[in-house]
Amino acid sequence: MTAAELDLDLRSVQEARDRALAAREAQRAFRFAEQGDVDRICAAMADVAFRESARWGEMAAEETGYGLAAHKRLKNEFASRDVWESIKDIPTCGVLRRDEVHQVVEIGWPVGVVAALTPSTNPTSTAIFKILIAVKARNAVVVAPHPTAVRCTSAAVAGMAAAGEAAGMPPGLVSSLNLVTLNGTHELMSHYATSMILATGGTPMVKAAHSVGKPALGVGPGNVPVYVDRSADVARAATDIVSSKAFDCSTICATEQTVVADRPIAAQLRREMADAGAHWIDRAAAERLGRLMFRPGGTMDPRYVGRTPRQIGELAGIDVPGSARVLVADLEGVGPAHPLSREKLTTVLGFIEEDGWRAGCERSIEILTFGGDGHSLVLHAQDEDVVLAFGIEKPAFRILVNTWGTFGAIGASTGLMPSMTLAPGGLGGSVVSDNITVHHLLNVKRLAYETRRPPAEAFSRPGHAGASDAGPGTATNGRAGTVDVDLVTEVVRRVLQEVRR
């Protein structure tokens, strides 16, 4: 390590400490903010992110070299408009719910300071999304950009922070690291002021987030199979698959990775996909591409990430027509001997034929097990028995039916919660299996009133047998009085006023 690199590393660590401490101070000033103030601040940040979506998308594509600026604009618009619309009416402050039957009052409470790690593939949209769900729950958030996407990510964070502060947000509640090194990011994750880690990115980074001893929510790899059944609308399936795989050059982890085609419709599916812009490469080209795209340990060469078919052809020395939207390779199997059966965050698809949905089911499980456990699966079928069988049997927590993998999994074309962080559950090494949203960054306190008295025997003093010390008039019929809701609300309001003073 040179002196300049050492100096950068030390400055990055110091910046992480400074950001974490400033965030904690700001969060303590914000933790009793009222719902109207929180929502006004978040709306201001969502508005500026939506307005700047095109510019930040261009910055992301230019800085990282991944994907397409126009598609990154759409991701930014989704992360601002759609995400905010999905959470804006969720209560996060004060009394959230009252259960009159069980006499429990739920009160929202922030987690604290969230360290938000963002990827190079979706650098600005992920930052926008994480800021909104964190601040909505009255948390502070420090964004740690990927080293290859610092400029665009920092610009998005700074723009949102300025809008939030203009609307009344404490300075320092939203910030990002601008001097990014591995040690600096590790310092942010492990710092005593950090309360939780929200990690989106590659497997090594997510594993690091889970290893620092803090509560962490992370993603997993998405080696997503797409099964096309004989009952499917084949023409629509072909268009959806090619368009989804081509979107932003396949930089969303829920994008289709390998097509599993039911044999009776496989030939038609090939034709329809070709008409939609899929270009099949021959066996020799596929073998060459597999050797070049993946390193010996199975990790992908970043030069191939988020590239158009034409760019991939130039890198690999493969002839690719300009009309190609995706490249497709026929696979003879799944596993290390077939590198193109791995997750491919670029415009390359695998293609396998199987006879019948049961065989397609087994092949899909094999693909998921080879690097995509718990993530997502896409299914094109009209036969509801097939759909249900896939839903029950597949080791994936998002089963997307007759839609794009890219838009379906993040909740843009389905009823799933809009999110840019897709957790793979215990199968994929995460504590949850949800689309991450504000609920995961909100703690809940519970006022629990007595609904039945303890048994009489519990009142007996040690060493004294016989009657309890409950005393006259303490025996009940098993139910206490009902909650005076107005009184509870008034008490909570007064306590908060005192704390603010």
Tokens of 197: 């880690």
What is the value of pTM for the model shown?
0.90
pLDDT of amino acid 189? 96
Backbone angles phi, psi at 496, to 5 degrees: -65, -40
pLDDT of amino acid 219? 86
Q: Where in the chain is the domain with CATH 3.40.309.10?
A: 224-420
What is the C-alpha to C-alpha distance for residues 163 and 171, in angstroms, rounded to an integer? 11
What is the C-alpha to C-alpha distance for residues 226 and 261, in angstroms, rounded to an integer? 8
Backbone angles phi, psi at 378, to 5 degrees: -110, 140
What is the C-alpha to C-alpha distance for residues 194 and 143, in angstroms, rounded to an integer? 12
What is the C-alpha to C-alpha distance for residues 131 and 200, in angstroms, rounded to an integer? 13
Pair 168, 136: CB distance under 8 Å? no
| Among 257, 256, 253, residue whose Cα is nearest residue 410 | 253
Catalytic residue among 42, 249, 253, 361: 253
Backbone angles phi, psi at 135, to 5 degrees: -70, -35
Which architecture characterizes domain 9-219+437-443 according to CATH? 3-Layer(aba) Sandwich (3.40)
The CATH code belonging to domain 224-420 is 3.40.309.10
pLDDT of amino acid 479? 43
Active-site residue flag, 152:
no
pLDDT of amino acid 218? 85
What is the C-alpha to C-alpha distance for residues 98 and 84, in angstroms, rounded to an integer? 25
The three-point CA angle 356-254-127 to 5° equals: 170
272 backbone φψ class: left, alpha, beta (φ>0; ψ -120 to 50): alpha
Strand 196-199 and strand 216-218: the pairing is parallel
Q: Where in the chain is the domain with CATH 3.40.605.10?
A: 9-219+437-443
What is the C-alpha to C-alpha distance for residues 464 and 264, in angstroms, rounded to an integer? 81
pLDDT of amino acid 467? 46
pLDDT of amino acid 495? 56
pLDDT of amino acid 128? 98
What string of pLDDT tens digits covers the 501 residues of the chain?
566 666 899 999 999 999 999 999 999 999 999 999 999 999 999 999 999 999 999 999 999 999 999 999 999 999 999 999 999 999 999 999 999 999 999 999 999 999 999 999 999 999 999 999 999 999 999 999 999 999 999 999 999 999 999 999 999 999 999 999 999 999 999 999 999 999 988 778 788 888 888 999 988 888 999 999 999 999 999 999 999 999 999 999 999 999 999 999 999 999 999 999 999 999 999 999 999 999 988 899 999 999 999 999 999 999 999 999 999 999 999 999 999 999 999 999 999 999 999 999 999 999 999 989 999 999 999 999 999 999 998 899 999 999 999 999 999 999 999 999 999 998 888 889 999 999 999 999 999 999 999 998 889 887 665 444 444 444 444 444 455 656 666 666 665 565 555
Order the strands of the 174-176 sheet from edge to edge: 174-176, 140-144, 113-117, 196-199, 216-218
Q: Cα-Cα-Cα-Cα dihedral of 496, 498, 500, 501, to 10°?
A: 170
